[in-house]
């Protein structure tokens, strides 16, 4: 029972990160607003592109690790990659974003990623 939950959550989280990365590349201003730090329509293209490429790459790497290296490698990846949403929490708070977005989206994501890492380590 634990295996399908751990794998399913890992797949869902990685696909979500792929989606977020693609969104930052395709509709960057809307994606930035959803992130919690609105971007200037005419001046933040580098920040938006870097965020998109980073997230897209992390999502694809996570899926590849799960498919080709297994649960243990994915668990280590999830443990390390949880630093990104934790950092995003601080970025949103330091940049004037709301606590609801910082904790309700970014911090909650970090917790969920860490829970999945624990589940994957348990397999």
* pLDDT surpassing 80 at residue 44: no
Residue 63's domain comprises 2-122
Number of domain units in the chain: 1
Is 56 a residue whose pLDDT tops 90?
yes
Q: Count the neighbouring beta carbons within 10 Å of the beta carbon of residue 40.
A: 10
CA gap 30, 13 in Å, rounded:
21
Asked whether the beta carbons of 55 and 20 are under 8 A apart, the reply is yes
* Separation CA 92–CA 102 (nearest Å): 6
Which residues neighbour 104 within 8 Å (Cβ) at sequence distance 6 or greater? none
**pLDDT at residue 41 tops 80:** no
Q: Are 27 and 39 in contact (CB under 8 A)?
A: no
What is the predicted pLDDT for the residue at 94? 97
- Mean pLDDT over 36-65 rounds to 91
Q: What is the pTM of this model?
A: 0.92
Q: Is the pLDDT of residue 105 over 80?
A: yes
Q: Provide the pLDDT confidence category of residue 40 given band limits of 50, 70 and 90.
A: confident
Given this model, what pLDDT does residue 70 score?
95
Mean pLDDT of the chain: 95
């Amino acid at each position: 029972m634990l295996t399908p939950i751990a794998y399913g959550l890992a797949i869902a989280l990685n696909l979500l990160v792929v989606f977020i990365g693609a969104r930052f590349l395709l509709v960057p201003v809307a994606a930035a607003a959803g992130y919690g730090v609105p971007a200037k329509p005419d001046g933040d293209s580098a920040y938006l592109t870097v965020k998109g490429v980073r997230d897209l790459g992390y999502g694809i790497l996570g899926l590849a690790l799960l498919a080709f290296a297994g649960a243990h490698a994915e668990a280590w990846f999830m443990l390390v990659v949880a630093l990104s949403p934790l950092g995003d929490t601080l970025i949103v708070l330091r940049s004037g974003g709301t606590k609801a977005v910082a904790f309700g989206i970014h911090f909650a994501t970090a917790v969920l990623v860490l829970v999945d890492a624990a589940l994957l380590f348990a397999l």
